[in-house]
């Protein structure tokens, strides 16, 4: 099955489909509604072939639907019927969780996304758990206030880095992960990376979007005639299951 992965950001919407070599993008911004996003995606991918869609959404997601209106986009996202708009099966996941899914190797992973806001996800024992930490109280405001893009602009790179290092150190002490990946557009501003971490790659968001459908595709192949000998195309004991935030 060919998948289209859509990564919705506060600055751009990025897309990549199975079998394509390079992603495409178009600007998003604070006025973009879901209908405008759909129209932009359909126009940008009109020569691509795909049968299902994964969407990385910049906010909390419950049961495949945005739980809140995104801070950095236009209105209308809560309750929007993505499948009806695209006329295809659609899976929606938090954008940091989608990049975490693409970054996962083994053990307990803590993924932190430094982008317009601040995203966090833990993957452990095959379970993907998005963590809504951006609005968690830190010092006089929130984590997002200090380590998000506005914090970087307000504080300058060196002070921003010190806050990132402190936040990472606290989360590692609390969660005790085996692997810590820092991704998002601003990871490249960290000089050096905090101890015990590795840099993610925004391309992993696309891999995570493909992996959302991989387990289902493997089940379909296994149920086909002669399918008992099919080897899954993903690595590790099993791919993570996506759990919605409580």
In a domain, 72, yes or no: no
Q: What is the CATH number of the domain that holds 182?
A: 3.30.420.40
User: In angstroms, rounded to a whole number, what is the distance separating the alpha carbons of residues 38 and 186?
Assistant: 26
For the cut 50, the answer to whether the pLDDT of residue 21 exceeds it is yes
Question: Cα 125 to chain center, whole Å?
Answer: 19
Q: Could you tell me the pTM of the whole model? A: 0.84
In a domain, 126, yes or no: yes
The length of the chain, given as a count of residues: 246
Structural domains in the chain (count): 1
In a domain, 41, yes or no: no
Which CA distances in Å does 149 have to 5, 86, 164, 181?
24, 31, 12, 18
- Write out pLDDT tens, residues 72-92: 899 999 999 999 999 999 999
pLDDT at 126 (0 to 100):
77
pLDDT at 222 (0 to 100):
55
In this prediction, what percent of the chain has a pLDDT beyond 90?
76
In a domain, 49, yes or no: no
Residue with tokens 């307990």: 108
* CA gyration radius, the chain: 18
Task: Find the domain containing 113 and state its range.
Answer: 98-199
Q: Which residue has the higher pLDDT, 207 or 225?
A: 207
pLDDT at 226 (0 to 100):
52
Average pLDDT over residues 183-195: 95
In a domain, 155, yes or no: yes
In a domain, 146, yes or no: yes
In a domain, 213, yes or no: no
In a domain, 51, yes or no: no
């Amino acid at each position: 099955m060919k998948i289209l992965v859509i990564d919705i950001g506060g600055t751009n919407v990025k897309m990549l489909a199975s079998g394509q070599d390079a992603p495409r993008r178009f600007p998003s911004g604070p006025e973009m509604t879901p209908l405008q996003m759909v129209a932009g995606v359909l126009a940008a991918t009109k020569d691509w072939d795909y049968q299902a869609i994964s969407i990385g959404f910049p906010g909390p997601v419950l049961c495949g639907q945005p739980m809140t209106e995104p801070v950095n986009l236009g209105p209308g996202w809560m309750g929007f019927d993505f499948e009806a708009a695209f006329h295809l099966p659609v899976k929606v996941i938090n954008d940091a969780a989608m990049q975490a899914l693409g970054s996962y190797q083994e053990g307990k992973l803590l993924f932190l996304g430094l982008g317009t806001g601040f995203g966090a996800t833990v993957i452990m024992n095959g379970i993907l758990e998005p963590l809504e930490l951006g609005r968690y109280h830190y010092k006089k405001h929130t984590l997002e206030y200090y380590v998000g893009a506005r914090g970087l602009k307000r504080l300058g790179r060196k002070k921003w880095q010190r806050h990132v290092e402190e936040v990472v150190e606290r989360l590692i002490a609390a969660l005790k992960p085996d692997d810590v990946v820092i991704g998002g557009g601003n990871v490249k501003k960290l000089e050096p990376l905090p101890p015990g971490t590795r840099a993610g790659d925004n391309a992993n968001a696309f891999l995570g979007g493909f992996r959302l459908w991989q387990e289902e595709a493997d089940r379909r192949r296994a149920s086909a005639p002669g399918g008992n000998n099919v080897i899954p195309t993903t690595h590790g004991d099993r791919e993570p299951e996506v759990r919605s935030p409580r």
